[in-house]
Amino acid sequence: MTKQKVGLVLFWIGVIWAILWGVVGSIFVSSAMNSLTMDELNQTIWALTGPLMMLWVYGVPLGALVAGIGLLLYSGAKGATAWKFGIGIVLAVIIGMIAMMFGHFPPLFGIGGTLILMFFIGIIWLWAKERVALKGSSTTAADLKLVGYVFMLIGAWFICGMAGQPFLKALEGQAPSSPVHVMIFLVLGWLFLYLSHYKSAQAMRK
């Protein structure tokens, strides 16, 4: 089997795995969590520390990782590049999980939020320089990408606020609001990034 075929197989395995746990798994997990207490939940197959719950928690990240490796191979990347991609992401996830064990660390949110904002400013500054050199339908693809970036930053901003709320003394005891607005911003961000890549692919085929 050629490297391209292996990559395509890995891609579809990753996609199916991510959909299985991201969509189907979430339906069952949400149903169980909405109708059962914690004690009742832990008596089911969806026990909080059980194997199925762990598969659901890490299902989409694992699927995305495998799909990414598959597309790297499919697109002609060297095997070493795919390994670096996979190992790098796994290490980042492990570091993130280890960090959770140390509990809440408020300065990290300030540092992380500042870095996200600075990276965003750097991205759109470089985007503007690239946009000047583009012509035709490529400009439309670039514009869609900018819209996606903006929505992703807005989503990240509101995620930060909602995630930090339980740890703020001034808001102690207040019920958190529904994150529906966050979901809308993230969906719009991913939508416009997808449309950008779709437009770029159309331009390349002409």
Q: What is the pLDDT confidence band of residue 75, given thresholds at 50, 70 and 90?
A: very high
Question: How many Å apart are CA 10 and CA 74, to the nearest integer?
Answer: 9
- Tell me: pLDDT of 49 over 70: yes
Give per-residue pLDDT as tens, 76-131.
Answer: 999 899 999 999 999 999 999 898 888 888 888 889 999 999 999 999 999 999 99
Give per-residue pLDDT as tens, 129-142.
Answer: 999 988 887 899 99
Which pLDDT does position 186 carry in this prediction? 96
- Tell me: pLDDT of 46 over 70: yes
Which pLDDT does position 63 carry in this prediction? 96
Mean pLDDT of the 25-36 span: 89
Q: What is the pLDDT confidence band of residue 206, given thresholds at 50, 70 and 90?
A: low
Q: Give the range among 19-33, 62-76, 146-160 with minimum mean pLDDT.
A: 19-33
Which pLDDT does position 69 carry in this prediction? 96
CA neighbor of 10 nearest in space, from 79, 57, 48, 66? 66
Tokens of 65: 């990782």
Question: How many Å apart are CA 174 and CA 119, to the nearest integer?
Answer: 33
Mean of all residue pLDDT scores within the chain: 91
Question: How many Å apart are CA 108 and CA 64, to the nearest integer?
Answer: 26
Mean pLDDT of the 162-179 span: 81
SS3 44: coil
Residues 6 or more apart from 154 whose CB is under 8 A from it? Answer: 185, 189
